[in-house]
Amino acid sequence: MSRLSIITQNSDQKTVEELYKDLERRITASQPGLCPVDLAASFLHICHSQSCGKCTPCRVGLGRLEDLIQQVLNGSAQESTVDLIEQTAESIFLTADCAIGQEAARMVLKGVRGFRDDYLEHIRHGRCMGLQNQPVPCVFQCPAGVDIPGYISLIHEKRYADAVRLIRKDNPFPAVCGLICEHPCEVRCRRTMVDDPINIRGLKRFATEHEGTPQSFAKAAPTGKKVAIIGGGPSGLSAAFYLSLMGHDVTVYEQRKRLGGMLRYGIPAYRLPREVLDNEIAFLRQTGFDVKTDVSIGKDISIADLRAGCDAMYISIGAHTDRKIGIEGEDAKGVVSAVELLRAIGDDEMPDYTGLDIVVIGGGNVAMDVARSAIRLGAKSVKIAYRRRRKDMTALPEEVEGAIADGCEVMEMMAPVRIETQDGHVSAMILQPQLAGLIKGGRPTPVPASLPETRVPCDKVLVAIGQGIDSRKFGEYGIPIARGKIEAFDWSGVSGSEGIFAGGDCVTGPATVIRAIAAGKVAAANIDSYLGFDHEITSDVQLPRIRFDDHVPRGRINMKERPASERKHDFKLMECGMTEEEAICESSRCLHCDHFGYGIFKGGRIAKW
């Protein structure tokens, strides 16, 4: 009889581990709009099954919580039951021995406090408050509501021009988004339940690269109505495109030399080549809207005069002002804001960083952009100082990995303290090591560690800690401003300002390109209604028949990039597109949620707006 033995997994344990992974994928792919009370009951049941049974709060208490929530779901609960659920969960949280009971109770507490009205709605009316008008996960997650299953099916049939035409019905920047969109549509892709989400952005890029000559849209008859758009970025240009198609007389006022906004002055060419952006804008301008560049609203022309000369006005200025760190030495020569650097690059004014040591402050996508740009401008070394952990960076993981591959060094858990200067010029960055503290808002709060400061010699400091909105002139005109942003309704109207609409970064703060595009689409629809019309934007593309061979597990095709040793020396596009073979293979993975499940019954395909 041996005292010890080697434990190996049997087939039962291996199967359970596989089921755990299946469950993880299913939770990841949970579509929006599910009943939160039902979800709470399901999660609680799983938590209860994990209990070892040692302590009463976990063994008995979680079972009691399950019973109470089931009473809510089956209609036998009273309003006081919700209070009892909260009290019971709090008691379990405070008295359970370990995390199994504590965290299960905390999850119930978060729910009963976060969606209490849903509990009460079940008790009073036997129904959930959730309203889901769009059951297709990828379409729902796309802020612009693009018909993603539709254009993927067209790509699979090699009808690339039709695919792009279908995209433009809701998003006039398909080529741009095919390169730089953060693809929220992939987050809840139901294909995740089978293997991995579909590479939607990559397929969009492939379609635009094989579109051929873009097909123009039919314009409505002239309405005689004038619309002024302030800001020539993605939101303003999207609104201008759709309003022009509706027959309105549109003029776009842009402060910079060229159109594009943050697409031109905030995203380097190695991610978005200028010829792609210029071609996209040129196509939009075929609808006939006027453009006035190098015009500063409130300086070259007053807001009052602009409003008096049009029937409606849309404000879509971007986040083009930098934010200060608030430390000693930040006004020294050699301290450059990310906005300033990317703006110069956008105007083809390339600074020379040859042989310089650079420190970048920040952890977002913009910080990665300026760090990688500095490498391409000849910097000898680039260090990215971030006060949190690398995993807490707001930048996309692939952007962080790309920056490291390009030669940047990430100094995580390092907070800027002061900038040393010599003769008024930057000489070093002083950083204070940090500890990961209590979690707030989903991320640990950094706290100073009991370690000495770190001195990093450098020639320049690039500050990328966020951008702001220059909204002062609009506030002086009487447009409501809160925390530097314009206050607007979700339909883009501005309270107390007749005929004035606003959207994009000036309302939300710095956000993604697709959200700005969606804001322009929403504004166009509601400005059209305000002007007394009901024009419709439609697509005449006929979709292919549904396939039935899409459920076999198959690996996702990811995008490839040029070797770091090659791409870091220029601003040419770093990402390689799909081959046709790859695109056909990847598009075959779509499960057609717009047809199967309940997608065809509820919501359905939105053919016009």
Q: Is 133 exposed, middle or buried (0-12, 13-18, 19+ CB in 10 A)?
A: exposed
Spatial CB neighbours of 460, under 8 Å, sequence gap ≥ 6: 334, 335, 336, 353, 356, 357, 358, 359, 426
CA 250 to chain centre: 29
Bridge-partner residues for 440, per DSSP? 443
DSSP label at residue 453: -
Site of tokens 């402050």: 361
Strand, coil or helix: 66: helix
CA-nearest of 206, 203, 159, 153 to 183 is: 203
DSSP 381-441: EEEEE-SS-GGG-SS-HHHHHHHHHHT-EEE-SEEEEEEEEETTEEEEEEEEEEEEEEEET
Instruction: Dig out the tokens for 393 from the structure.
Output: 């960076």
CA-to-CA separations, 179 to 71, 367, 564, 573, in angstroms, rounded: 50, 18, 18, 9
What distances in angstroms separate CA 253 from CA 286, 314, 342, 523, one per listed residue?
17, 10, 21, 16
Q: Which of helix, strand or coil describes residue 171?
A: coil
d(CA 587, CA 583): 6
Q: Which of 210, 65, 222, 35 is nearest to 129 (CA)?
A: 35
User: 3-class DSSP state for residue 148?
Assistant: helix
State if pTM tops 0.85. Answer: yes
Number of C-beta neighbours around residue 30 at 10 A: 14
CA distance 164 to 479: 38
Are 419 and 363 a contacting pair, CB within 8 Å? no
| Res 559: pLDDT | 93
- Please, what's the largest Cα pairwise distance for the chain? 96
Half-sphere exposure of 229 (CA within 13 A, CB side): 35
Cα(173)–Cα(597) distance, rounded to whole angstroms? 30
Closest CA relative to residue 467, chosen from 340, 292, 293: 340
pLDDT of residue 433: 96
pLDDT along the chain (609 residues), means of 10: 76 84 84 83 87 86 90 89 92 90 90 89 84 79 93 96 95 96 91 92 96 89 95 96 96 93 92 95 94 90 91 91 87 92 90 95 94 95 95 92 95 95 93 92 90 95 88 85 88 90 90 94 95 91 84 90 92 94 95 78 71
What are the phi and psi torsion angles at 471 (to 5°)? -110, 10
Residue 598: its pLDDT value, please? 64
Q: Tell me the domains of the chain and their CATH numbers.
A: 34-125 (1.20.1440.230), 144-215+548-587 (1.10.1060.10), 226-320+469-530 (3.50.50.60), 322-466 (3.50.50.60)
d(CA 294, CA 31): 45
DSSP letter at 215? Answer: P
Contact of 318 with 508, CB cutoff 8 Å: no
| 436 C-beta neighbours (distance < 10 Å), count | 16
- Residue 240, helix vs strand vs coil: helix
